[in-house]
Copies of this chain bind each other. A is one copy, B any other.
Amino acid sequence: MTPLIFITNDDGYLSRGLRHLADTAKEFGDVVVVAPESNASGQSTSITCARPLRVRHVGDWGGVAYHACSGTPADCVKMGTEQICPRRPDLVLSGINFGSNASINIIYSGTMGAVLEGCLSGFPSIGFSLLHHNPEGDLSGCTAVVQHILSEVLAHPLPDWTGLNVNIPRLPADQIKGIRICRQARAAWRDSLEKRIDPAGQPYYWMTGKFVCNDMEPDSDMRALTDGYVSVVPVRPDFTHCEAIPLLGHLAKENCETTA
């Protein structure tokens, strides 16, 4: 049977990156799109609990049906896979995002929030991001990368409970050196808030910050991208720090009636 490919993003249903991904994916199967009404960057795996969700068909472009949902990227995955897709999709894709989701950026990313939601619901799920912040940026370097990965993943299913975080360097197609399988580089954002004073003399703060990464080991995604490679990090929706478990025996206890 023709594969059914569900696609969402966090830049909203009108993003060129979403259209590029859908147009590339439709060579590999039937495509259904449900994406946020507007930009949902930074929304992580947040879901909408306090108000109801809406979804509407907004158009058919390039032979693909596009729907807009009032919620987050993770909401879009639930809406798309449970309510809009005619059957259980074979793949969940998210992107192509404008801007890096490598390293620690994954934790804030709506693009990757959708991938983690797809993954925990049992779908092979892949997020694509281009290291270019301009929504008018050149997407041509992404085409062969998306084609290669979709072709491989449809031929050789991903391991159980696994998604992929794919980041693509901002390079013309013929200058991308290749694709590396990596782990997430350790990094952080420093000095996140810029304080300003409004006309009434009151402070307000803009999210900003400096990305600090000293983890450029050969297996890190930041190293691959710096070297001109596409980085592919297998991910799963599990935060357990397994190596720490044997170090925390002193916290265990056989009753809690008295204080320590």
Contact = CB atoms under 8 A, between A and B. Distances in A.
Interface of A: 39, 41-50, 52-55, 72, 74-75, 78-79, 82-83, 104, 106-108, 110, 112-113, 116, 120-122, 141, 143-145, 147-149, 151-153, 156, 158-159, 161-162, 164-165, 173-174, 176-184, 186, 188, 191-193, 195-196, 202-207, 219, 230, 232-245, 247-260
A205 B81 CA distance: 14
A207 B75 contact: yes
A232 B248 contact: yes
B82 A191 contact: yes
Contacts of A75: 207
A49 B41 contact: yes
A113 to B, nearest CB: 7
A47 B255 contact: no
B252 A241 contact: no
A239 to B, nearest CB: 4
Chain A binding surface, main DSSP class: mixed
Contacts of A145: 256
A230 B256 contact: yes
B43 A186 contact: no
B250 A165 contact: no
Contacts of A52: 196, 204-206
Most B C-beta atoms less than 10 A away, residue of A46, A49, A206 = A46
Contacts of A238: 183-184, 186, 239, 241
Nearest to A153: B251
Contact of A260 (B108, B147, B188, B191): B147
Given A116-B107, A178-B255, A260-B147, A49 B237 contact: no
A82 B195 CA distance: 11
B44 A46 contact: yes
Most B C-beta atoms less than 10 A away, residue of A144, A173, A239 = A239
Contact of A237 (B104, B161, B236): B104
Contacts of A243: 159
B253 A179 contact: yes
A120 B148 contact: no
A193 to B, nearest CB: 6
A165 B239 contact: yes
Contacts of A108: 45-47, 74
Contacts of A44: 43-47, 74, 113
Given A53-B207, A238-B186, A151 B259 contact: yes
11 contacts: A46-B110, A53-B206, A53-B207, A78-B192, A148-B253, A148-B259, A151-B259, A184-B239, A232-B252, A234-B247, A235-B239
